A = this chain, B = another copy of it.
Amino acid sequence: MEISDILMLLTPIGAVLALGFAVYNGMKVMKYPEGSAQVQSISEKIRKGANAFLRRQYTVVAVFFALMLVVLCVMAGFGFLTWFVPFAFVTGGFFSGLSGFVGMKLATYANSRTATASKESLNKGLRVAFSAGSVMGFTVVGLGLFDLAIWYYLLHYVFGRGIAETTAAMLTFGMGASCMALFARVGGGIFTKAADVGADLVGKVEAGIPEDDPRNPAVIADNVGDNVGDVAGMGADLYESYVGAIVASCALGVAAFPQFNATQGSPAVTIPMAMAGIGVIITIIGSFLIRTKENATQKALLAALRRGTNFSAFAIAILAFPLVKVMLPDNIGVYGAVLSGLFAGVGIAFFTEYYTSDNYKPTRDLAESTKTGSATLIIGGLSLGMLSTAIPLLIVCASILVSYFVAGGAGNPALGLYGIGISAVGMLSTLGLTLANDSYGPVADNAGGIAEMAGLEPEVRKRTDALDSLGNTTAAVGKGFCIGAGALTALALIAAYIDRVAVLTVTALENAITKVTNMDVATLRENLNLASLTVNEQVAALREHAEIVGAEISRAATFNFNLAIDTPTVLVGLFIGGMLPFVFTALTMKSVGRAAQKIVVEVRRQFREIKGLMEGTAEADYATCVDLCTRSALREMVLPTILAIASPIATGLILGPNGVVGLLIGCTVSGFMMAIMTANSGGAWDNAKKYIEAGHHGGKGSDAHKAAVVGDTVGDPLKDTCGPSIDILLKLSSMVSIVFAALVLSFHFLQ
């Protein structure tokens, strides 16, 4: 066994450890008592609603996957894809969906237990909620590494394929994961925000009853939403981010080190895979560092969480060095790319916290602007979000330049692009822990809801509120982190797309030549000594040879990349790509608005028609609201997903691959802006409201508070439906382009 094979084992080992740690945490959660009969009954209602939604959602998604499977099989039949691709696509979708399902399942058991544990102490509550978050975090990374390992070893050992074909197939399961993630995020996001906005609009604003009041008919739907949107949706989403970054780096590694293409493994592939495995081991250790004293302050809680992530980032920074040194001793600059990714992650996290936490000036100023009403609050929040894009963007730009140049991009662009991919992997290597921090928030939120509905002592609600508020900040930080990594991953995928098109052009040329010369491809490649050349060099050599032998050139074989930004196809692609996140945000916002209005109508109807509801003598019809949300979410999630998949294909068929590259980059640029803006505007509005509720500017019930509720309501769909979905959109459109590259290459109209 070579050292490379041993290091590669870190991937399956990481997968097993992560899944084991998830089970360990799950058992820890289940050991806690669930609480009183009333708590149990409420929790069961939420669980049932969440399960019902997921079942129906996954049914719709299954139909979509079946259709896509047929499309991909037909394409494989015509030779546009290898036969691995359709099945890789399905497994990606399956594991992504499974990540969401497992996380959500546990969250719906953990909510009541967190509420009950919070009766004892804040620390106990934190432990249960954080354990539930850890189940999610480590399920995502565990299943991700598991899927990666399966496909790698399967193609490598069972089918004996070369590393290039292996990484190409792995990119496709990234596409499956992205499709599933988009459905989960958009569907779950519409569900949760329609319920939340609808419940608030009638409950808080019109009827004047507090949040999570059991008299509100939409209250169970609201709590179900936390689980299906903020937990299941996020799980599928982050599975996609994690796997996407790794497979993109692998593909770029293959392109950057063509000397390994003839062999079955490549050190450039081992690095991201092994680094992900190391990340799992480190973050498991890191999560044991998260402990607080009994009755710790919120600041101490945040410090405890930070201790865990900082340790992990630091440890990975150290361990990545020997990994790169052993695998790519002549390209130690790649280590610099890892560092730049880790630093960028820390930087983005800090500035997200700065812009959205009420410990800092921006959110406090925003809270202050409620004094002049909701209009100035909206103006302030929008401008805060727009302004907050600047620093994360500059950090990502610095990360692009540093990782490109330290990895050797000045001499060989392919190395530089590999560096960008590796920096994304570096940023996401602590994901297990980041995600655990990120996803205990909704559990705490749910626990608070249950405490309110079950009429537990006010002290319990206060504790769950403290956890929830902390969760708001960690969630915003997690989002900033994911968007940063998402932009880098998207760029890596775009580079992979360019490489893929070049490889397809090579294949088309090879076929054209072998047709007239009756030579087999292997001999041709050997004669021209192609194995040692980069793809672009291969295209040049083959084109020359094709002319000599008089081969008939197909449409695909004539394609030339002309990526100059002032080429009209690239330029128009850029414009169209720049538009996509705007239209996508508009569609998802409108969906939430429409669905919320239905909830409003239904809640008003119940208040009007159910006698004794406001007095607390009759029970609300929770199930109808859950059902309304479910139906709206399922109906509304289809159009945005189709838009995301169809746009790059349609653009490709008209403008050709040059236009597609323009589209993908345009989409990444404006999507990055929109994702950060929506996340931070929404987060700041939410926390400005919480800041006022904590007693500032007149506290709950004041005019300032009423204005703040408007801001929070506007921000809800922005931060929890639109923003996270855009992040997926960026990567999905790249992956779709890669999978459909052969089709587009054969049938494009303009060049």
User: Which residues of chain A have a CB within 8 Å of any CB of chain B?
Assistant: 197, 201, 205, 369, 372-376, 378-380, 382-387, 389-390, 393-394, 396-397, 400-401, 404-405, 409, 413, 416-417, 491, 494-495, 498, 563-572, 574-576, 578-579, 582-583, 585-587, 589-590, 592-593, 596-597, 600, 661-662, 665-666, 669-670, 672-673, 677, 709-710, 713-714, 717, 750
Contact = CB atoms under 8 A, between A and B. Distances in A.
A375 B713 contact: yes
Contacts of A576: 393-394, 397
A382 B582 CA distance: 10
Contacts of A383: 585-587, 589-590, 593
B586 A386 contact: yes
Contacts of A750: 401
Centre residue among A400, A491, A571 by max chain B CB count within 10 A: A571
Contacts of A405: 568
Nearest to A567: B413
16 contacts: A205-B373, A369-B593, A375-B710, A376-B596, A378-B378, A378-B714, A382-B586, A383-B593, A389-B579, A563-B564, A563-B566, A565-B565, A565-B662, A575-B672, A666-B669, A670-B673
Contacts of A413: 566-567
Contacts of A372: 201, 596-597, 600
Given A373-B205, A565-B565, A585-B386, A397 B575 contact: yes
Contacts of A494: 566
Given A379-B717, A393-B576, 15 more contacts: A201-B376, A205-B373, A375-B714, A376-B593, A376-B597, A379-B593, A380-B593, A382-B589, A387-B586, A393-B578, A400-B568, A401-B572, A565-B662, A669-B670, A710-B710
A522 B584 CA distance: 57
Closest 4 CB pairs of A and B: A386-B586, A375-B713, A387-B586, A383-B589
Nearest to A655: B401
B568 A396 contact: no
Contacts of A498: 566
Contacts of A380: 590, 593
Given A587-B387, A597-B372, A575 B393 contact: yes
Contacts of A661: 565-566
Contacts of A495: 566
A592 B379 CA distance: 9
Contacts of A563: 564-566
A582 B673 contact: yes
A582 B578 CA distance: 13
Contacts of A397: 572, 575-576
A751 to B, nearest CB: 9
A383 B579 CA distance: 13
Nearest to A661: B565
B670 A710 contact: no
A185 B239 CA distance: 47
Contacts of A569: 401
Nearest to A583: B390
A466 to B, nearest CB: 26
A665 B590 contact: no
A535 to B, nearest CB: 14
Contact of A386 (B564, B583, B666): B583
B673 A579 contact: yes
Contacts of A589: 379, 382-383, 386
Contacts of A582: 386-387, 389-390, 673, 677
Centre residue among A378, A576, A597, A713 by max chain B CB count within 10 A: A378
B570 A396 contact: no
A373 B710 contact: yes
B387 A590 contact: yes
A578 B400 CA distance: 16
Given A498-B566, A565-B565, A670 B379 contact: no
A609 B673 CA distance: 46
A662 B586 CA distance: 27
A669 B572 CA distance: 10
A589 B16 CA distance: 52
A373 B201 contact: yes
B592 A387 contact: no
B564 A564 contact: yes
A602 to B, nearest CB: 12
A380 B587 CA distance: 10
Contacts of A491: 571
A709 B583 CA distance: 26
A587 B383 CA distance: 7
Contacts of A404: 568
A401 to B, nearest CB: 6
A197 B709 CA distance: 21
B670 A417 contact: no
A717 B575 CA distance: 25
A284 B395 CA distance: 53
